[in-house]
Chains A and B, each alone.
Chain A
Amino acid sequence: MRATDIKRLSLYLLFAPFALWILLLILLPHAGMMYISLREKVAPRVYEFGFENYINFFNEPIYWNTLIRTGSMSLLVTFLALLLGFPIAYYIAKIAGNRSRGALFLMCLIPLWVSDLIRAFGWILLLRETGVISSSLQWVGLIGTPIEFLYNDAAVIMGLVYTVILFMIVPLVSTLDGMDKSLIEAGYNLGGNGPTVLRRIIIPYAMPGIVAGCIVVFMLTAGSYLTPILLGGKNSSWFTEQIYDQFITRYNWESGAAFGFLLLAFTSIAVWLGLKLSGQTLNSTVADT
């Protein structure tokens, strides 16, 4: 009896930090935000309950256009990260020798050791009109006048891919790592060529890793703030910027909170759709890798 009590107590104690974390840092703030998002401001210090903030979002094309833009650019970033990350992950997991693997992994990790802000400034130094790339191209003689590479959507996408690609590579490496090399050999022995083996053996095997990586990357991208703000041009709005503006510039916490929930709903639906389409579940992907 006593022993089970102690066991139970220690279980509670071990569980407590996690429960507190979820309750205090996730559930409570969200409940508060939900409450704020359902308030309508009628006059200074006077509020009414209602869905006005959500309705406003759908009535104003600027808002949902920005959300769609953010969503589609995030999808593009996810796709590019997968396209670039897969060969790297494959090389690390299957081709590289044991020693170079560690080194390669480390090289992928190193950019994460500096903050987002510093990395964005690094890109700015490279891409700006008087920056490294433009002036070296001029020096080589390929271009006559300085070219501005910064302040456009391509710069934003490149910066984002660079920031998130690691989160694609890690789950891919850990999935591909578990694949027996003899599977690939068997594929070739049965007369398959490179593309067939890739399509029928490697990709299906790596699917959980691919989906897990895509989910993480998509969420990170859609919720990122610094990179799109700093590298983006005069036309590039990002949805997180709208949320910031609502909260800070417009003193409109009510609609900022509603936007926050809309972003959460949008990304959740996108992830759910992705899981449905790929025939995976959260358990088989993110929880596994």
Chain B
Amino acid sequence: MIIKIAMAGLLAATVMTTTAAQAETLRLLTWGSYAPDGLVKKFEAKYPDINVEVTFSNNEEMVAKLRATGGAGFDLAQPSHDRIFAAQQEYNIYKPLDLSKIDTSNMSKVHLDGVKGNTTIDGKVYAVPHQWGTSGLMADKAKAPDLKGWGDLCDPEYKGKTSMRLKRTILLGTAFDMGEDPFAAYADLAKYQQILDKVASKLISCKDNIKAYWKGGDDLSAMMLSGEIVASETWDSTAYKLYGQNKDIVFVPPKTGALAWIDTFAFPRKGKADDAAYKWINFVLEPENVQLMSASTGAIAAVNGGKDLLPADKKAAVNAAFTDADIDNLKFFANIPPGVEDMEGKTLEKIKAATGSE
């Protein structure tokens, strides 16, 4: 008897929660600072029946998380444009977008076409651009005024006073600095391996010059602000933030061109709240929201006049860093073909493990 009553109660409770939980949940998988609290609140106020749940991550972890579940668990992901094509081919974790549901009219054409070109598989588009930014160098002008290219991080003049992140960016940057074109070599992986070997020996001999490899924006900022290092490989947004605190610290687009990435909107294959996801995309592309977003991320929205929608201090930092020629010289990350991550990973391990220079 007691059991029956309990069962009835349990049933009733389940029924009630299901009816009460009509509110949809939008599960975002994105970068830290890409879903500022204010913006999420504003979105939830506009669409009271949608709850936003945010998970912060990075490119590699986004792909790994989606791969683990076959594309379930999230409704909208924001990997960079070069992490769609191969990941989709290998792990089948995304689903195509319905472009008619996205207001692309305001997106800057260069970026939209670029991302579309990068992420079209069998005639279907898997991503649209959101924000873009660059990786390059950062220097304290007062102490390292002559830093111009990736290779200058290995200049003995700055011995023990430079840093870099031991990830693929520095491999690519160093390759460009040595006069190679790694993106062109993606088509011929044997050639690419040769380039990687050259880059590895250069970076191994450069190890002496490096104080430490930074792991995240925080330790890089701490080393730079304290003056423990005078120059580093960096994300531009980190450099812009530091410019706000010390006007001597500027972003330096390398002479071979800053490496540009575009963070996108992509739909995980088993996402459940597509409509809510489309609403979020269109919402954050509205000009006033772009401004809020860019203030938080420090990256430039891929919309027309995106640079002007940056907050004043960031705009000043961008103008201090880039000339129009630098913008024309940007090298957009090319699609990573299957297998390249493994080759690059092995090269990075080799560099990390090498102790020859000490």
Q: Which of B3-11, B58-66, B191-199, B305-313 contacts A (4 or more CB under 8 A)?
A: B58-66
A59, chain B: closest CB distance, angstroms: 12
- Contact check, B228 vs A245: say whether CB atoms are below 8 A apart: no
Question: With a CB–CB cut-off of 8 A, which chain B residues contact A248?
Answer: 60-61, 64
Stretch at the interface among A166-174, A227-235, A279-287: A227-235
User: Which stretch (A81-89, A176-184, A205-213, A249-257) binds chain B?
Assistant: A249-257
A9 adjacent to chain B (CB < 8 Å) = no
With contact pairs A44-B90, A62-B353 given, residues A250 and B215 touching in the complex (Cβ less than 8 Å): no
Taking the closest CB of chain B, its distance from the CB of A252, in whole angstroms, is 6
What is the 8 Å Cβ interface bit string for chain A, positions 116-139, against chain B (1 contact, 0 not)? 000000001000111000000000
- Cβ-defined contact, B210 with A44, below 8 A: no
Q: Which of B61, B167, B215 contacts A229 (CB 8 A)?
A: B215
Which residues of B have CB within 8 Å of A246? 345
Q: Is A65 an interface residue (CB 8 A)?
A: yes
Contacts A44-B90, A230-B215, A237-B353 given; does A249 touch B227 at CB 8 Å? no
Interface positions of A from 244 to 289, Cβ below 8 Å from B: 245-253
Please pick, from A65, A129, A235, the residue contacting B228 in the complex, using a CB distance under 8 A.
Answer: A129
Q: Shortest distance in angstroms between B249's beta carbon and chain A's nearest beta carbon?
A: 16
Q: Which of B60, B63, B352 contacts A234 (CB 8 A)?
A: B352
* B229 closest partner in A (C-beta): A129
Tell me, yes or no, whether B89 is within 8 Å of chain A by CB: yes
Q: Which B residues are CB-close (under 8 A) to A247?
A: 64
With A237-B352, A248-B61: A44-B338 Cβ-Cβ less than 8 Å: yes
Residue B138 CB within 8 A of the other chain: no
Q: Indicate whether A128 sits within 8 Å of B353 (C-beta atoms), given known contacts A234-B207, A252-B342, A252-B345.
A: no
Bitwise, B40-51 to A at CB < 8 A (1) or not (0) is 000000000000
Instruction: Give every chain A residue within 8 A of B222 (Cβ-Cβ).
Output: 128
Within 136-153 of B, Cβ neighbours of A (below 8 Å) are at none
A227 to B64, CA, bound (A): 23
Residue B212 is within 8 A (CB to CB) of chain A in the complex: yes
Q: Is the CB of A45 within 8 A of B90?
A: yes
A235:B352 contact, CB within 8 angstroms: yes
Contacts of A44 in B (CB 8 A): 86, 89-90, 338
Residue B355 CB within 8 A of the other chain: yes
Interface string of B152-194 (1 = CB under 8 A from A): 0000000000000001000000000000000000000000000
Q: Are B353 and A250 in contact (CB under 8 A)?
A: no
A151 proximal to B (CB < 8 A): yes
Residues of A within 8 A of B345 (CB): 245-246, 249-250, 252
Q: Report whether A249 and B60 are in contact in the complex, using a CB–CB cutoff of 8 Å.
A: yes
Chain B interface secondary structure, helix, strand, loop or mixed? helix
Tell me whether A62 and B350 are in contact in the complex, defined as CB-CB below 8 angstroms, given that A45-B92, A250-B341, A251-B90 are known contacts. Answer: yes
Task: Knowing A66-B353, A237-B352, A245-B349, say if A250 contacts B228 (CB, 8 Å).
Answer: no
CB–CB B213/A234 < 8 A: yes
A137 to B291, CA, bound (A): 47
- Check if B353 sits within 8 Å of A151, measured CB to CB: no
Give min CB distance, B333 to chain A, whole Å: 16
- In the complex, the answer to whether A251 meets B341 with C-beta atoms within 8 Å is yes
B279 within 8 A of A: no
Which chain B residues border A130 with CB–CB below 8 Å? Answer: 226-228
Are B60 and A65 within 8 A (Cβ)? no
A253 and B342 alpha carbons, distance in the complex (Å) = 11
Min CB distance A236 to B, Å, is: 9
B91, B212, B349: which contacts A233 (Cβ < 8 A)? B212
- B299 on the interface (CB 8 Å rule)? no
Contact B226 A128 (CB under 8 A): yes
User: Which residue of B90, B91, B352, B358 has the most chain A CB atoms within 10 A of its CB atom?
Assistant: B352
| Contact bitstring B224-249, A, C-beta under 8 A = 1, else 0 | 00111000000000000000000000
A128 touches B341 (CB 8 A): no
B116 at the interface (CB under 8 A from A): no
Residues B331-353 near A (CB distance < 8 A): 338, 341-342, 344-346, 348-350, 352-353
Report chain A residues within 8 Å CB of B212.
150-151, 233-234
Is there contact, CB below 8 Å, between B226 and A249? no
Minimal Cβ-Cβ distance residue in A for B227: A130
The closest CB in chain A to the CB of B88 belongs to A44
Among B63, B90, B228, B354, the residue within 8 A (CB) of A128 is: B228
Closest residue of A by beta carbon distance from B163? A234
CB distance from B223 to the nearest CB of A (A): 8
Q: Collect the chain A residues with CB atoms within 8 Å of residue B315's CB.
A: none
- Distance A85 CA – B239 CA, assembled complex (angstroms): 45
Inter-chain CA distance A249–B213, complex, in Å, is: 16
**Residues in chain B near residue A129, CB distance under 8 A:** 226, 228
Nearest chain B residue, comparing its CB with the CB of A125: B222
The CA of A128 and the CA of B341, in the complex, are separated in Å by 33
Q: List 17 A-B contacts (CB under 8 A).
A: A44-B89, A45-B89, A45-B90, A45-B91, A128-B222, A128-B226, A128-B228, A151-B212, A230-B215, A235-B354, A237-B349, A237-B353, A246-B345, A249-B345, A250-B344, A250-B346, A251-B64
Given contacts A234-B213, A235-B353, A253-B67, 6 further A-B contacts (CB under 8 A): A44-B90, A44-B338, A128-B228, A234-B210, A234-B352, A246-B345
- Interface pairs A-B: 10 shortest CB-CB: A250-B345, A130-B226, A44-B90, A151-B212, A62-B353, A248-B60, A129-B228, A235-B355, A250-B342, A44-B338
